[in-house]
Chains A and B, each alone.
Chain A
Amino acid sequence: MISFEGFTLLILFFILAPIIEAIALLFLFIFEKRIDLLENRNVKIELEKELQQALYNQLNQQIQPHFLFNTLNVILSLARLNRTRELVRALEVLSQFLKFKYKSTEPLISLQREIDYTEQYLEIQKLRFGSRLSIQLDCADDLLSACIPPFVLQTLVENAFKHGLERKMGEALLKIRISSEDEEVRLEVIDNGSSGMEDLSHEAPPTEEPQLEKSGHGLDNIRRRLHLCFGDHAQLSLSPIEEGGTQVLVVWPFVLCDPYESEVRG
């Protein structure tokens, strides 16, 4: 037999249950649309992410023919000059370089891998320039595992050759400095060629901001990719050097890449 206390509790439950249910229902009615809205927003964000990924991949693809045509021109020059040994070596290095390049699909790679790519490109250029070309590469070991969008350094180096060192008579000097400051990575590519500003201004759309900021297709591509990856935290600037040449500075946040992945892929 149920006691009086038990009966009171039972009645209390019978009365409270609909009240709790009503509150829950009210809560659901009020927030249902908001929950749906949040879900839809999540879907929208996912879609935007997908779109950005697609855009990013497209930009990555864009840069490949750009590089390829420049390098083919280098090889063509070697062939025209009948420098067969260098030509063979250039084709060998290009083949290795392209093998890595077409395999790379990830949005960010380690600086170590990027430097490796660039060195393969430089190898091709060294063949062409011979002893006339001197390269300085300064990079602290702890920065080698920092993340960077692929082909950033390689494009900057390529541009230094295309717009500066190609026309330089005498010694061609290329400095690559990678340092860190306030949780940011600073990449400087300095050449002593002609400033190449006029050249670049032809390539860039006429609406670009100051003259110094004008850049060609490669630099514009780097800007857009940096923006996709790091938003407003990344920047790229181009400036002429008084004693002749150009300096390109890229700054982006220091983010560590997965060391295992870089090891495996590198």
Chain B
Amino acid sequence: MGAFALIAFGWLGRKVRSDLAGGMTIGDYMRSKLHPFGYWTMIAILLITSIEGMFVQGMAGGVLLNILFGLPIPLGLLCFFVFCVLFAGIGGIRTIHRFANVQIVITFATAILIPVYFFIGKGVEHVFNGLRLYHPYLLVLNNHEGMLFIVTGVLIGFGQVFVDQATWQRLYMMEEKKVVPTFLLSGLIFATIPLAFSAMIFIVLFSGGFHDIFSLLFELVRKIDTLFLLVLFVLCSFGAITSAFGAGLHSMISLMVNNVYQLFRPEASERQKIRLGYTLAIVTGAVSFCLTLYFTPTLLDLLFFFGIIYASLFLPVIVIILTRGRASNFIIISAIAGLASGYISRLYVDNMKAIWIASSVTALVLLLYLCIASVHKHYMRTKART
């Protein structure tokens, strides 16, 4: 899902870099393209999405610690947060990038070795028979619900990639001529790694049913009976979550410091900015910890709940990037309309439909705005001629 989104973002990235070459964050770009109302609304939405992103990754880290060491999820989440804040907050982007190569090696080793080991050990026929017995719906080609789920995932994936602050920060870090090939390659990696992990999920599914995603992970860990592969899997999972969390935390701090704090206090020193960054990281960790004490949503619930935001932002962000000069506030209003309709409709329909309603409303409002803008432009041109 994210694969296509990353490849598409690479193409848009070129336009972004040519529009504003000297930026550093998504906030810098939005500031140059939006009016104050649109800018601050966008910053508020971005802040919510980055906190949500960290919360989801924190939850995943907590769950993993729970599965491996039996730690309660809130405690596991807190440990994970402390580790990540120390890793990304203090180490900075350099530490994240230093571990990136090791993480890639571990991820590929896991994605290649574990499926090969299991499919050779168990035999493809056993897995196939198990799946046919317990989960025959997975083997049906015209599974409409499954298709809808995948398409919805693509929609959310596009939105998630297009507003992801870490992706924008990376876009501004690389050489301009390497933007398209880098995102193309990242997209290809994103396409193959999930395939390998799907193969791993088959290994778990073939021997019985499952309760939720957490139980699937628990089963997978239980099934990996070789210590080497288990260590590899744990390192891969932690590496992926930690680096994603680290990059997310770092980009959120950059956004807050550069695009919010500096506008209110331009005379602030570098030390003050760094202190604010740490405070933000600690506050996010504390808030996430408190949230998990009261409710433990599943990762799928979170994905759908926040999917409404991503589905509503996906089209407006494209229109903002493609607009020449400053983009109108109506583009942001279309996103707000989508968000409102998505969350209201969620009270009456299921999550997946709410996501589609949100994105459809955004698309309609945007289309209306674009039509009016085009007619207005045409009228003004004709008037000027006469």
Q: How far apart are the CA atoms of A19 and B193 in the complex, in Å? A: 10
Majority SS of interface residues in chain B? Answer: helix
Interface mask (A146-170 → B, CB under 8 Å = 1, otherwise 0)? 0000000000000000000000000
Name which of A1, A11, A17, A18 has the most chain B CB atoms within 10 A of its CB.
A18
Residue of B nearest to A26 (CB): B108
Partner of A25, one of B140, B189, B199: B189
Taking a contact as CB atoms under 8 Å apart, the answer to whether B139 and A17 are in contact is no
Taking a contact as CB atoms under 8 Å apart, the answer to whether A1 and B196 are in contact is no
Partner of B119, one of A11, A13, A24: A11
Taking a contact as CB atoms under 8 Å apart, the answer to whether A25 and B104 are in contact is yes
Given A1-B141, A25-B108, A28-B185, are A15 and B196 neighbors across the interface (CB < 8 Å)?
A: yes
Residues of B within 8 A of A2 (CB): 139-141
Residue of A nearest to B138 (CB): A2
B7 CB to closest chain A CB, in angstroms? 14
Given A1-B140, A2-B141, A25-B185, are A18 and B192 neighbors across the interface (CB < 8 Å)?
A: yes
The answer to whether the Cβ of A21 comes within 8 Å of any Cβ in the partner chain is yes
The answer to whether the Cβ of A260 comes within 8 Å of any Cβ in the partner chain is no
Partner of A22, one of B108, B115, B127, B185: B108
Residue of A nearest to B119 (CB): A11
Number of interface residues of B (CB under 8 A): 27
The answer to whether the Cβ of B188 comes within 8 Å of any Cβ in the partner chain is yes
Majority SS of interface residues in chain A? Answer: helix
The answer to whether the Cβ of B198 comes within 8 Å of any Cβ in the partner chain is yes
Given A1-B136, A25-B104, A25-B108, are A13 and B195 neighbors across the interface (CB < 8 Å)?
A: yes
Residue of B nearest to A7 (CB): B128
Partner of B139, one of A7, A14, A15, A25: A7
**Complex A-B: 13 CB contacts under 8 Å:** A1-B136, A1-B139, A7-B139, A11-B115, A11-B127, A11-B202, A14-B115, A14-B198, A15-B116, A15-B196, A18-B112, A25-B108, A25-B185
Which of B's residues lie within 8 Å of A, judged by CB?
A: 104, 108, 111-112, 115-116, 119, 124-125, 127-128, 131, 136, 139-141, 185, 188-189, 191-193, 195-196, 198-199, 202
